[in-house]
């Protein structure tokens, strides 16, 4: 699996660095140094707690544009991700919210990040930013133009959104992988902090076949054991914060507790092959 190749682990724990408001965002505070310092502290706390990788998001830039962000956001994220990559020796990913995967690919290519997250990769979703259309074709072509082996982790029926029509989860997963050529898929609950159901995870895993399925929200040290009996890894943020509150900074003790719970899951037998895609 591509996740094993990136993280050197069968079921990786990927912690999230939620950046404070960036330049040109509605709540920008005017102090980029403070944003960088907070990001470095959180990345260090995640690494010290034992996560297998980190994804950096402009989470506190809400309300988000639905597609392209301001160039100042791209510039700031490039600086911050580069600083983090020089600080911790972990695989790094990027998510430019709400759905600017082109900028995420560009940043990743410039700093050497290994993967990006795309909230709406295929299909059309109704969101609080309006209708967002998937752009798998453009992203695959852009990745080829950049000439970088950057993995694309794509949400399926992403949180805080509703699909136009009533697509079947199995079909949505298959389309994301077979027609969109995503390297991994992400399944979340309805909103931040809510996990996907076990039934949905099982359906997604069956439909994905050899492509990794990651939990994208709602994991904590109480449910991670059950989630990872099915999923191939987890992206976690809220439950690693102080008191489990999303606006608080990362708590390294909570990180260590979560990682310990995740690592207590028995490892599955080694796979006979690793699936890769050529961009």
pLDDT tens per residue across span 234-246: 999 999 999 989 8
What per-residue confidence (pLDDT) applies to 267? 57
Structure tokens at 151: 């993995």
- In angstroms, the CA 139 to CA 150 distance is 11
Closest by alpha carbon to 88, among 80, 97, 98?
80
Rounded to an integer, the average pLDDT of 46-72 is 96
Indicate the range of 4-8, 58-62, 108-112, 270-274 predicted with least confidence.
270-274
Residues 35 and 80 sit within 8 Å (Cβ to Cβ): yes
Q: Is residue 220 scored above 50 in pLDDT?
A: yes
Closest by alpha carbon to 231, among 217, 241, 243?
217
- In angstroms, the CA 125 to CA 121 distance is 10
Rounded to an integer, the average pLDDT of 190-218 is 90
What per-residue confidence (pLDDT) applies to 66? 87
Q: In 119-142, which positions are buried (b, 16+ CB within 10 angstroms) versus exposed (e)? A: bbbbbebebebeebebbbeebbeb
| Residue % of the chain over a pLDDT of 70 | 91
- Residue indicated by tokens 């989860």: 169
- Residue indicated by tokens 């080694």: 270
Rounded to an integer, the average pLDDT of 26-38 is 97
- Burial class of residue 170 in the structure, from the number of CB atoms within 10 Å of its CB (0-12 exposed, 13-18 middle, 19+ buried): middle
User: Which has more pLDDT, 160 or 171?
Assistant: 171
- In angstroms, the CA 133 to CA 25 distance is 22
Residues 108 and 114 sit within 8 Å (Cβ to Cβ): yes
* CATH fold for the domain made of 2-263: TIM Barrel (3.20.20)
Is the bond preceding residue 263 a cis peptide, omega within 30 degrees? no
Mean pLDDT, the chain, rounded, equals 90
In the chain, DSSP finds a helix count (H) and a strand count (E) of 9, 11
Compute CA distances 206 → 106, 202, 227, whole Å.
32, 6, 15
What per-residue confidence (pLDDT) applies to 271? 44
What per-residue confidence (pLDDT) applies to 105? 98
Rounded to an integer, the average pLDDT of 154-169 is 75
Q: To which H or E segment does residue 78 belong?
A: helix 71-85
Q: Is residue 275 scored above 60 in pLDDT?
A: no
| β partners of residue 57 | 18, 95
**Structure confidence by residue, pLDDT tens digits, 101-158:** 999 999 999 999 999 999 999 988 777 777 878 899 999 999 999 999 999 999 998 6
- Model confidence band, residue 265 (pLDDT cutoffs 50, 70, 90): confident
What per-residue confidence (pLDDT) applies to 5? 96
User: Which has more pLDDT, 190 or 132?
Assistant: 132
DSSP 179: I
- Model confidence band, residue 278 (pLDDT cutoffs 50, 70, 90): very low
Structure tokens at 105: 């690919």
List of long-range contacts for 69-72, beta carbons under 8 Å, 24+ apart: 69/24, 69/96, 69/97, 69/100, 69/103, 70/23, 70/24, 70/25, 72/22, 72/23, 72/24
- In angstroms, the CA 245 to CA 193 distance is 10
- Model confidence band, residue 272 (pLDDT cutoffs 50, 70, 90): very low
Structure tokens at 152: 């694309």
What per-residue confidence (pLDDT) applies to 270? 46
- Model confidence band, residue 161 (pLDDT cutoffs 50, 70, 90): low
């Amino acid at each position: 699996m591509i996740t094993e190749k990136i993280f050197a682990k069968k079921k990786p724990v990927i912690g999230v660095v939620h950046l404070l408001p960036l330049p040109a965002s509605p709540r920008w505070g005017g102090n980029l140094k403070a944003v960088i310092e907070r990001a470095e502290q959180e990345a260090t706390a995640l690494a010290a707690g034992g996560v297998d990788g980190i994804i950096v998001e402009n989470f506190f830039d809400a309300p988000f544009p639905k597609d392209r962000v301001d160039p100042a956001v791209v510039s700031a994220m490039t600086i911050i991700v580069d600083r983090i990559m020089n600080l911790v020796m972990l695989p790094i990913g990027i998510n430019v919210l709400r759905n600017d995967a082109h900028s995420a690919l560009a940043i990743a290519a410039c700093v050497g990040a290994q993967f990006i997250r795309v909230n709406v990769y295929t299909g059309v979703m109704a969101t609080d930013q309006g209708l967002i259309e998937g752009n798998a074709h453009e992203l695959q072509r852009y990745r080829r133009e950049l000439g970088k082996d950057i993995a694309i982790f794509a949400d399926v029926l992403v949180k805080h959104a509703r699909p136009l029509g009533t697509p079947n989860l199995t079909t949505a997963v298959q389309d994301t992988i077979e027609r969109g050529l995503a390297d991994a898929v992400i399944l979340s609950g309805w909103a931040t902090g809510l996990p996907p159901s076990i039934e949905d995870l099982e359906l997604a895993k069956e439909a994905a076949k050899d492509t990794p399925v990651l939990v994208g929200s709602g994991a904590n040290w109480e449910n991670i054991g059950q989630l990872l009996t099915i999923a191939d890894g987890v992206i976690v943020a809220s439950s690693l914060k102080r008191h489990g509150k999303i606006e608080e900074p990362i708590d390294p003790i909570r990180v260590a507790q979560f990682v310990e719970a995740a690592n207590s899951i028995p490892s599955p037998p080694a796979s006979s092959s690793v699936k890769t895609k050529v961009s």
